[in-house]
Structure 1
Amino acid sequence: MTENDGPKRERDRRVTDLGTLKALAHPLRMRLYRGLTVARVATASQLAEQVDEAVSLVSYHLRKLAEHGLIEEAEPRSGDGRERWWQPTSDGLSIRDEDFRDAPEKAAVHTAASRLFFDQRADMYRRFLDERVHWGDAWNTAAESSESTLRLTAAELGELTAEMLALFHRYEERGRAADAAGETEGRENVSVHTYAFPFRV
Structure 2
Amino acid sequence: MTGTEKNRRITDVGTLKALAHPLRMKLYRGLTVARVATASQLAEQVDEAVSLVSYHLRKLAEHGLIEEAEPRSADGRERWWQPASDGVSIRDEDFRDAPEKAAAHTAASRLFFEQRADMYRRFLDERTHWDEEWNSVAESSESTLRLTAAELAELTAELLALVRRYDERGRAADAAGDTEGRENVAVHTYAFPFRV
Q: Does the pair score TM above 0.5?
A: yes
TM-score normalised per structure 1? 0.96
Equivalent residue, structure 2, for 1:184: 179
- Structure 1 counterpart of 2:59, one-letter code: K
In structure 1, the partner of 2:119 is 124
Alpha-carbon distance, 1:14 to partner: 0.3
**Which amino acid in the other structure matches residue 92 of structure 1?**
G
2:97 pairs, out of 102, 109, 125, with 102
Structure 1 residue matching 2:195: 3-state secondary structure: coil
Q: How far does residue 8 in structure 1 lie from its aligned partner after superposition?
A: 5.4
Answer yes or no: is the 8 Å Cα contact 2:11–2:90 preserved in 1.
yes
Q: What is the SS of the residue equivalent to 2:86?
A: coil
Structure 1: which amino acid aligns with 2:65? Answer: L
Counterpart amino acid of 2:19? L
Whole-Å separation in 1 of the counterparts to 2:129 and 2:12: 42
Residue 68 of structure 2 corresponds to 73
Gaps of 5+ in 1: none
Contact 2:3 2:84 in 1 (8 A): no
Matched, 1:42 2:37: yes
Pick the aligned partner of 2:106 from 111, 114, 129: 111
Cα displacement (A) at 1:83: 1.3
Partner SS for 1:72: strand
Q: Distance in 2 between matches of 1:53 and 1:82?
A: 19
Look up the match of 2:46: 51
Take 1:146 and 1:172, find their aligned partners in 2: how far apart are those partners? 21
Deviation at 1:27, TM superposition (A): 0.1
| 2:3–2:85 contact (8 Å) kept in structure 1 | no
Question: Structure 2 CA distance, aligned partners of 1:79 and 1:59?
Answer: 19
When the two structures are superposed, what TM-score results if normalisation uses the length of structure 2? 0.99
Does 84-93 or 8-17 show the bigger shift? 8-17
Distance 1:90 1:161 in 2: 21
Distance 1:8 1:58 in 2: 24
